[in-house]
Chains A and B, each alone.
Chain A
């Protein structure tokens, strides 16, 4: 069965960086984009960007340009999001989703989420 398993919760100080991983299994990792979405406590969903695991190509939401980097390691079917210069309002649950959003395939699977807390 398709699974995306994310790394564990993180606590970081303001100004630090965090890197969250997302390991995919049960399908061909390079067949579908990996999207990253975050959700602040009690708030809605916010799209951060995607990576094409096949080519490594990325697209980022303008809001995160310069602070976020999406990468992948195809040898271990794992995608990563790194966010730098953390602020308190970056406190959120970060989700990865292996999905076909632009096409017509009903492939859409999410990781369990990783809580990142930014606090001094």
Chain B
């Protein structure tokens, strides 16, 4: 199975900060990666697909980059509604696997 390792596991940031989350795959997955945001008690919502394509309706402050084994999710200016847990998902091979999550908290 492909292991997806996110870093950091958690971070504290202020409104307006630039935030970067990294996801590393244990083997190459081309650009077959998505990023999800999950708020407490809610289902995940996709932000990015194909590593760098913005899901429709998602604010442009979210962006994704990378290919192969290293990927990043960037929030250019953190907003109050962005505090949540973020997950990466690889869909290159079976089984599909998620990262362990990165919790973004208010500083």
Contact = CB atoms under 8 A, between A and B. Distances in A.
Interface of A: 35, 37, 44-47, 59, 61-63, 95, 99, 101-102, 104, 106, 108, 110-113
A62 B100 CA distance: 19
A47 B56 contact: no
A113 B43 contact: yes
Nearest to B57: A106
A110 B44 contact: yes
Interface of B: 32, 34, 36, 38, 43-46, 49-50, 53, 55-56, 87, 89, 91, 94-101
A88 to B, nearest CB: 22
A46 B98 contact: yes
Contacts of A59: 94
A62 B95 contact: yes
Contacts of A47: 89, 95-98
B96 A101 contact: yes
Nearest to A112: B43
B94 A44 contact: no
A46 B44 CA distance: 12
A35 B94 CA distance: 13
Nearest to B46: A108
Interface centre among A95, A108, A113, by most B CB within 10 Å? A108
A45 B44 contact: yes
Nearest to A35: B96
B100 A106 contact: no
A113 B50 CA distance: 25
10 contacts: A37-B44, A45-B38, A45-B89, A47-B96, A47-B98, A63-B95, A104-B53, A110-B44, A110-B45, A112-B43
